[in-house]
Structure 1
Amino acid sequence: MGILQTLFGDDARVLYERNFQLLLLASLSSPLGASVVSPILEGLTGPLGTSSTQIGLLMAVFTAPAIFLIPVVGVVSDRVGRKPVLTAGLLLFGLAGLAISLTTEFRVVLGLRFLQGVGYTGIAPVLITSVGDIFAADDDAEAAAQGLRFTAVGLSLTLFPVLSGALVVLAWQYPFFLYGLAVPTALVVFLLFEEPTAVGDESEGDDSIGALLSLASHPRVAATLVGRAIPSFLWFVFLTYNSVVVVRLLGANPGVAGLLVAAASVASSVSSTQSGRITTAFDTRVVPMLVSTLAVGGGVVALAFAPSTLVAGLGVVVAGAGFGVGLTLYRSALTGSAPVDLRGGLVSLGESSGRLGSTVAPVLTGAVIAFATPALGEAAAIRWGILGVVAAGVLVGVASVVVVDRYDVPTRATTVTAAD
Structure 2
Amino acid sequence: MNNLSIQSQHNKSQNVAKDKNLYIIVGVTLTAIMGGLTIAPIQPALAEKFNISSAALVMTVFMIPVGIATPILGVLADRIGIKKVLVPSLILFAVAGGFASFSEDFNTLLGWRFLQGLGAAPLDSLALTMIGNIYTGRTIATVMAINASVIGISSAIYPLIGGALGELDWRYPFLLAVFAFPLVMLVLMVLKLPKRPTDIPKQNLRAYLKNTWKSVNNRSVAGLLFAIGATFMIQFGAIITFIPTLAGNSFGSSEFTNGIILCTSSFVLALTASQLGKLSQLTSEINLIKISFLISALALFITPLLPSLWLLLIPNVLFGISLAFALPSSLALLTGLSRQDSRGGFMAVNASVQSMGQALGPMLGSFALSLWGIHGVFFSAATFAIISFVVFGVLLTPVIQGASQGTSKENSISISEREVGVEVTEQLVNPPSFASPTILQTPVPQLFHLETNKVIELPEDFSIITIGKLSKSEVPDINLSEFPHAEFVSRKHAQIRFDGKDYFIQDMGSANGTYINKYPMLPGIWYKIAPQVRIGFGKRDMVSFVFQIS
TM-score, normalization by structure 1: 0.70
1:227 aligns with 2:231: no
Find the counterpart in structure 2 of residue 347 from structure 1. Answer: 347
In the alignment, is the contact (CA less than 8 A) between 1:82 and 1:196 conserved in 2?
Answer: no
TM-superposed deviation, 1:354 = 1.9
Kindly provide the amino acid, as one letter, of the partner of residue 230 in structure 1.
A
Give 2:182's match in structure 1, choosing from 185, 188, 198. Answer: 188
- Distance in 2 (CA, whole Å) between partners of 1:220 and 1:321 is 24
Q: Which has the higher strand share?
A: 2
Structure 2 vs 1, CA of residues 267 and 58 (structure 1 numbering), >3 Å: closer, same or farther?
Answer: farther
Q: Does 1:402 align with 2:396?
A: no
Q: Does 1:272 align with 2:263?
A: no
Any conservation in 2 of the 1:302–1:311 contact (CA below 8 Å)?
Answer: no
Is the 1:60–1:363 Cα contact (8 Å) retained in structure 2? no
Provide the residue aligned with 1:411 in structure 2. Answer: 427
Q: Distance in 2 between matches of 1:366 and 1:42?
A: 23
Change (3 A) 1:110 1:252: farther
Question: How many residues matched?
Answer: 383
Residue 103 of structure 2 contacts residue 109 of structure 2 at CA under 8 Å; is this kept in 1? no
Q: Is the 8 A contact 1:38 1:240 kept in 2?
A: no
- Matched with 1:5 is none
Alpha-carbon distance change, 225 to 149 in structure 1, aligned in 2, over 3 angstroms: closer
Q: Cα distance 1:336–1:159, how it changes in 2: closer, same or farther (>3 A)?
A: same
Inter-CA distance 10–219: structure 2 relative to 1 (3 Å threshold): closer
User: Given residue 311 of structure 2, which amino acid in structure 1 is its aligned partner?
Assistant: V
Shift of 1:405: 3.5
Taking a change above 3 Å as real, the CA distance of residues 261 and 111 of structure 1, as seen in their structure-2 partners, is: farther
Considering fraction of residues, name the structure with more helix: 1
Query: Structure 1 residue 231: deviation in Å?
Result: 0.9
How far apart, in 2, do the equivalents of 1:143 and 1:347 lie? 15
The alpha-carbon distance between structure 1 residues 71 and 108, as it changes in their structure 2 partners (threshold 3 A), is same
Match of residue 28, structure 1, among 23, 27, 30: 30
What is the distance in 2 between the residues matched to 1:283 and 1:48?
Answer: 52
Which residue identity is paired with 2:269?
Answer: S
Distance 1:246 1:41 in 2: 22
Q: CA deviation at 1:277?
A: 4.2
Equivalents in 1 of 2:174, 2:395: separation in Å?
A: 39
Within-5 A mapping of 1:31-42: 31-36=33-38
d(CA) in 1 for partners of 2:109, 2:319: 29
The answer for the alignment partner of 2:311 in structure 1 is 311
Paired residue type of 1:271: T
Larger radius of gyration, structure 1 or 2? 2
Shift of 1:350: 2.5
Given that 2:141 and 2:329 are in contact with CA atoms closer than 8 Å, whether structure 1 keeps it comes out as no
Question: What TM-score does the superposition give when structure 2 sets the normalisation length?
Answer: 0.56
8 Å CA contact 1:59–1:240 kept in 2: the answer is no
2:120 aligned partner: 120
Q: How big is the alpha-carbon RMSD for the aligned residues of Structure 1 and Structure 2?
A: 4.5
Alignment of 1:234-383 (within 5 A): 234-237=234-237, 238-247=239-248, 249-282=250-283, 285-286=286-287, 288-300=288-300, 302-303=302-303, 306-338=306-338, 343-369=343-369, 371-372=370-371, 381=373, 383=374
| Cα contact 2:292–2:322 (8 A) shared by 1 | yes
Name the amino acid aligned to 1:188.
P
Structural mapping, 1:91-106, within 5 Å: 92-93=92-93, 99=100
Residue 260 of structure 1: SS of its match in structure 2? helix
Q: State the structure with bigger RCO (CA 8 A, min sep 6), 1 or 2.
A: 1
Determine the C-alpha separation between the residues in 1 that align with 2:363 and 2:183.
35
Deviations 1:289-329 (A, max 9, x none): 23211323443565566543311222211111101211122
1:348 Cα deviation (Å)? 3.1
CA 97–25 in structure 1, closer or farther in 2 if over 3 Å, else same: same
Q: Would you say 1:178 and 2:179 are equivalent positions? A: no
Structure 1 residue 160, shift from structure 2 partner: 1.9
AA partner of residue 158 (structure 2)? F
CA distance in 2, matches of 1:252, 1:358: 25
Displacement of 1:343 after TM fit? 4.9
Distance 2:79 2:309 in 1: 49
Q: Kindly tell me: are residues 84 and 262 of structure 1, through their superposed partners in 2, closer, same or farther at Cα, counting changes over 3 Å?
A: farther
Q: Point out where structure 1 has 5 or more consecutive residues left out of the alignment.
A: 1-8
Shift of 1:251: 2.7
Residue 32 of structure 2 aligns to a residue whose secondary structure is coil
* Cα shift readout 1:135-169 (whole Å, capped 9, x = no counterpart): 56x8798777665555444442232233456667x
Q: What is the CA distance between 1:124 and its match in structure 2? A: 1.9
Residue identity (%): 21
Given residue 296 of structure 1, which amino acid in structure 2 is its aligned partner?
Answer: S
8 Å contact kept, 2:97–2:177: no
The CA deviation at 1:117 is 4.3
Which residue matches 2:502? none
**Alpha carbons 1:165, 1:258 under 8 Å: kept:** no
Q: What displacement does 1:229 show?
A: 0.5
CA pair 217-144 structure 1, distance change in 2 beyond 3 A: closer
- Residue 355 of structure 1 and its aligned partner are, at CA, apart by 1.9
Corresponding residue SS for 2:31: coil
Q: What is the deviation of 1:206?
A: 2.8
| Pair 36,242 (structure 1): closer, same or farther in 2 beyond 3 Å | farther
Listed one character per residue, the Cα deviations across residues 93-152 of structure 1 (whole Å, up to 9, x for unaligned) are: 5666674996997x998887665543332322223334566x56x879877766555544
CA distance in 1: counterparts of 2:309 and 2:36, whole angstroms: 21
Q: CA deviation at 1:263?
A: 1.8
Counterparts of 2:83 and 2:281 in 1: how far apart (Å)? 38
Structure 2: segments with no counterpart, 5+ residues: 1-13, 400-424, 430-523, 527-550
**Shift of residue 357, structure 1, vs aligned partner:** 0.7
Query: 1:248, CA displacement in angstroms?
Result: 5.5
